[in-house]
Structure 1
Amino acid sequence: MAKVIPFKAVRPTRDKVSLVASRSYQSYTQDELEARLDYNPFSFLHIVNPGYKYDKQITGTERYNLVRNRYLEFKEDRIFIEDKTPCFYIYKIVNREGQSFSGIVAAASAEDYKKDVIKKHEDTIEYREHIFKDYLKTVGFNAEPVLLTYPDNNVIANIISETQKERAEYEFTTHFRDTHYLWVVNNIQAIKNIENEFKSIDTIYIADGHHRSASSYLLSETLKSENNSHTGNEPYNFFMSYLIPESNLKIYEFNRLVKDLNGLTKEAFLIKLDAMFRIENRGSELYKPNNKHHFSMYLDGEFYSLYLRKHNYTFNNALDTLDTQILYKTILEPILGISDLRNNKRIDYSHGKNDLVNIKSKIDQGEFAVGFGLVPITIQEMKAIADENLTMPPKSTFIEPKLRSGVTIYEF
């Protein structure tokens, strides 16, 4: 039984939302970041980059405190307002390719994360969990929801559909030509219906935001231990999430690029591959795999298809059937000598929205020696990994939608 509740969002005024909303600040190049900070005084980037005001790089606790100050200034200047009653928020994105995503921004239970009602499929790095927990505790808010997915539900779908017939509170288009819409759901009966429907759902899954979920849980445990009057209903017991039905999730593959052949010649490398794969040379034309356990490879100006020799590979669990794991266990680790996929500098990743032209270009330019193309992981595979308490290799999925920071803010 999932506990999903409404909350009183702090959010931009309608006239400024397009100016406030930003991508995650790590996604900007330095030039892009400086341009937005120079020319847009309302950007949420001013809050998360408080050192800009002093032309100084600031880190650690000093930065956290300044983030808090910038945030309070945005509230004092009425750039941000707070809803008077707890609400759900219907959020819709239509991207430049015409794909549409609709879901609900709400508060999900940190206790559900602990009890595995909210399931994960990725490992987290402990020190990153604690860094972000400390950040959240100091600044007192979260502005980027965790992406959760739930089984398709007709009642919730009808509420979303009916709500979207009304005029949106927000409607704005980004530089990427994605159009964002937000509706405020403050009708008491609609709120009750949404809560009850989520109570009927046994399991929801983290699609994106594993570290934010883990940090939010750590924060709830910390603040609970510090509160002698803890009831379980305090805001810190929940974390802001964007819940989207499984059928509306878009999963792209993450392709792999490797800088060298680990001391092997091209011929020796191909011979080693032959033990686990049936190999066909596809020439210089772009070649993309289209089935599970089927990979494309670009090497020395030519594409190859690699078909797994299944009689040489054992499937014991959901992880063993995952193409990213197969590539790791048959090529990356034993042949190319890459055991640490997170930290080895010889490997890089290119998500499926950057097509195989990107891989070909980087290899032709000499940045990498070989590239591997995969097919996307399915929602069923992702759920199977989570259900078996397993974890995917790093960079197994690139998932859409991607929300903007600063559109809805959750205070603890």
Structure 2
Amino acid sequence: MAKVIPFKAVRPTRAIVGLVAARPYQSYTIDERESRMDYNPFSFLHIVNPGYKYDQVITGEERYKLVKNRYLEFKEDGVFVQDEKPSFYVYKIVNRLGQEFNGIIAATSAEDYEKDIIKKHENTIAKREKTFKTYLKTVGFNAEPVLLTYPDNEIISDIIKETQKGYAEFEFTMTYRDTHFLWKIDNAETIAVIQKEFETMNTIYIADGHHRSASSHLLYSDEKANNPNHNGTESYNFFMSYLIPESELVIHEFNRLIRGLNGLSKEEFLIKLDTTYRIENRGVLPYNPSKPHHFSMYLDGEFYSLYLRKTSYEFHTALDKLDAQLLYKTILQPVLGIDDLRNDNRIEYVNGQHEMITIKSSVDSGEFMVGFGMCPTTVNQMKLIADEGLKMPPKSTYILPKLRSGITVYEF
């Protein structure tokens, strides 16, 4: 059963929350980042990029200590204020496409992660886990929730809808035209009902935030081992998450762009693909795949459809049926010689919010030789792969909603 608890969030004041909230640090270009910090003294970017104050690039544990200092300064200046009572936070996002996401920000259990009650579908990199664990331990807070998804639950849904009829603590729109709303639930009876409903769930799933979850678990393991009086209620036992029902999760594909054809000519490349796929030339107009195990390909000014030959590939696991895995096993690895999907600089990824014309433009520019488009992964596929204890290839899913940092902060 899933353990979900309320917590005392540290939050910006209503008047400036829209100025504080920021996308993840790495998602900005250098120019974007500097522009926001030049003109917005309240941006959370000032906390996570403390070297800006001294016009210096600061890394490692020295940076982490300065991050903590900037955070404490924001609290001292009244930019951040901590709630008096442990609460759940109903959080709603409406993006520029009109897609709506409704869920609850809460503290979730590191022990549940360890016991596989919170299930994973992506591999993590040990070095990144350890680095972020050190960061968390030094700064003492987490400001961006992990995105979790749970089976649709009518009781939780009714509570969310009823809460949203009341006064919103926050309501603000970001420059990317997504609007955010936050309501607080601090009523003990309602909190108990929500917790009881989550306790009926044998499994919830990580949608986005695998490294943050893994790092929080490492922190929990270290702190537990070093605390002779550990009792399971300490703040390090939990990490902040945004939990939304499965029906509201939106998954886009990641399409692939490849530099070069591994020494093959266009004709040699197509002949090798013919072993596994039925190939049809679709001309110069953008072409999208229509069903699983069906890819679009852009090569030398033309689009092609690739249909998997039924006798050429066997499905034994849920992972085998995943299109990102299928593309890797039948084309990227054996034909194009790309073994390491994370680190090979011949491959780049374009999330499926961009149309196939982006693939065409990238290949026509000459930087890439071929591009592949695929259908999105489904929530059920993601769950089945996690249930079988398997892991997807990198960049198999581009999941919405994308969360902002600094709206709620969980302190350890």
* Equivalent residues in 2 for 1:377-392, closer than 5 Å: 377-392=377-392
**Equivalents in 1 of 2:145, 2:162: separation in Å?**
23
Is residue 181 of structure 1 aligned with residue 145 of structure 2? no
What is the DSSP-based 3-state SS (H/G/I as helix, E as strand, rest coil) of the residue aligned with 2:338? coil
One-letter amino acid matched to 2:35 = A
* Aligned equivalent of 2:92: 92
Letter in 2 for 1:29: T
Structure 2 equivalent of residue 349 of structure 1: 349
Opposite residue 409 of structure 2, the aligned amino acid is: I
Cα distance in structure 1, aligned partners of 2:310 and 2:386: 24
- Aligned match of 1:261: 261
Q: Which runs of structure 2 are paired with 1:12-411 in the superposition (5 Å)?
A: 12-411=12-411
Q: Offset of 1:355 from its aligned partner?
A: 1.3
Q: Distance in 2 between matches of 1:299 and 1:207?
A: 33
- How far did 1:354 drift? 1.3
Cα shift readout 1:214-253 (whole Å, capped 9, x = no counterpart): 0000001111122221110001000000000000000000
CA distance in structure 2 between the aligned counterparts of 1:227 and 1:64, rounded to whole angstroms: 23
Aligned amino acid, residue 261 of structure 1: L
Whole-Å separation in 1 of the counterparts to 2:216 and 2:140:
11
Structure 2 residue identity aligned to 1:238: F
SS in 2 for 1:327: helix
Describe the SS at the equivalent of 1:280.
Answer: strand
* AA of the residue aligned to 1:399: I
| CA distance in structure 1 between the aligned counterparts of 2:292 and 2:198, rounded to whole angstroms | 33
Code of the aligned partner of 1:408: T
Matched letter for residue 75 of structure 2: K
1:163-208 deviation per Cα after TM superposition (whole angstroms, max 9, x unaligned): 0111211000011100000001111111111000000000000000
- What secondary structure sits across from 1:297 in the alignment? strand
Paired letter, 1:172: F
RMSD: 0.5
CA distance in structure 2 between the partners assigned to 1:334 and 1:403 by the alignment: 37
Q: CA deviation at 1:290?
A: 1.1
Q: Which amino acid aligns with 2:410?
A: Y
**How many Å apart are 1:310 and its aligned residue?**
1.5
Residues 272-311 of structure 1, C-alpha deviations (whole Å, 9 max, x = no match):
0000000000000010001000000000000000000021
User: Which residue identity lines up with residue 275 of structure 1 in the other structure?
Assistant: T
CA distance in 2, matches of 1:80, 1:247: 33
Residue identity matched to 2:314: T
SS in 1 for 2:311: helix
Give the TM-score normalised by the residue count of structure 1.
1.00
- Measured against aligned partners, the alpha-carbon deviations of 1:335-384 in whole angstroms (never above 9, x if no partner) come to 00001000000000000011111111010000100000000000000000
Give the Cα separation in 2 of the matches to 1:170 and 1:289. 41
Q: Distance in 2 between matches of 1:310 and 1:160?
A: 46
State how far apart, in whole Å, the 2-side matches of 1:47 and 1:297 are. Answer: 43
Q: What CA deviation, in whole Å up to 9, does each residue of 1:67-125 have, x standing for no partner?
A: 00000000000100001010000000000000000010000000000000000000000
Code of the aligned partner of 1:207:
A
Identity %: 68
Q: Distance in 2 between matches of 1:51 and 1:226?
A: 32
Secondary structure of 1:106's aligned partner: strand
3-state secondary structure, aligned to 1:311: coil
2:138 aligned partner, one-letter code: T
Aligned residues: 412
CA distance in 1, matches of 2:197, 2:244: 14
Q: What is the one-letter code of the residue matched to 1:86?
A: P
Distance 1:259 1:117 in 2: 40
**Secondary structure in 1 matching 2:335:** coil
Using the alignment, how far apart are the partners of 1:55 and 1:193 within structure 2?
A: 50
Q: What's the offset of the Cα at 1:143?
A: 0.2
1:25-49: per-residue Cα shift (whole Å, max 9, x none)?
A: 1000111100011110000000000
Amino acid at match of 2:203: T
Q: 1:403 Cα deviation (Å)?
A: 1.1
Q: Which amino acid aligns with 2:217?
A: Y
Question: Which whole-Å CA distance do the structure 1 matches of 2:365 and 2:221 have between them?
Answer: 50
CA distance in 2 between counterparts of 1:261 and 1:196 reads 55
Within 2, Cα distance between the matches of 1:229 and 1:325?
Answer: 46
**2:297 is paired with a residue of what secondary structure?**
strand
Unaligned runs of 5+ in 2: none
Q: Distance in 2 between matches of 1:35 and 1:258?
A: 33
Give me the TM-score of the superposition, normalised by structure 2: 1.00
For 1:54 and 1:327, how far apart are their aligned partners in 2?
47
| Letter of the structure 2 residue corresponding to residue 183 of structure 1 | W
For the residue of structure 1 that corresponds to 2:8, the secondary structure is: coil
